[in-house]
Amino acid sequence: MERNPDMCKMFARNPFFESDLVVGTQWRIYYSWSVQIGPKCVDISFKNGTKEIVHRVWSDMNEYLEMQPNWDAAALLLNIGSSRHEVMLFTDQGPVGGFIGVPNIVRDGNIPPLRKSVSLIKFHMKLVESGRYLVVMDCQLGVASLSARSNVPVTLSDIITVAMELNLGEGHPACTVARDNEDPFIMKQYI
């Protein structure tokens, strides 16, 4: 998938995203575009952007951001893998599911960035198949993932079918294990 600033505009046609349908649920990434996750499983989860969470992210990242988001528009906290990888999501104007993200690089525990050197990230999220699957896309890098609730079994053929219908180009299955003499099933694994 090439980097394309209009990618999220195309993807945002017929938007469908409800925060209530994603918060409090653990989602497992089963397919990705522009990044190979491999056979391991990566889970993502969302929390509502409470005042405490927003204040903590602001305290961690305020001085490192090139531009400040509208901190009052904080909507969700996205946790990726472990709780140390997080992105504060702010509602963006435009189609439903558009967000501006602040990656909390300080919380990752890596070397702190230079002052005013961290860019905001533009995200788009969409629930597909009546909310059964969640697509999360980084609009600048073109990195995207297809997830399903981690407690709901899905087959590899289901995932491939949905991924092809999204028409985002060639991607890569993740979190897969094949059973003997059966279609491959997506199995629960732990990183």
Domains detected in the chain: 7-186 (2.40.128)
Q: Strand, coil or helix: what is 107?
A: coil
User: Higher-confidence residue: 81 or 65?
Assistant: 65
Confidence of residue 182 (pLDDT cuts 50, 70, 90): very low
How far is 56 from 69, CA to CA, in rounded Å? 15
Q: What is the pTM of this model?
A: 0.83
Beta strands in 36-143 (DSSP E): 42-48, 74-80, 86-91, 98-103, 121-128, 133-138
Average pLDDT, the chain: 83
What are the φ and ψ backbone dihedral angles of 12, each rounded to 5 degrees? Answer: -80, 0
Range 159-170 average pLDDT: 90
pLDDT of residue 149: 94
Q: Strand, coil or helix: what is 185?
A: strand
pLDDT of residue 50: 94
pLDDT of residue 114: 79
Q: Strand, coil or helix: what is 177?
A: strand
| DSSP, res 65 | B
Percent of the chain with pLDDT over 90: 46
pLDDT of residue 181: 40
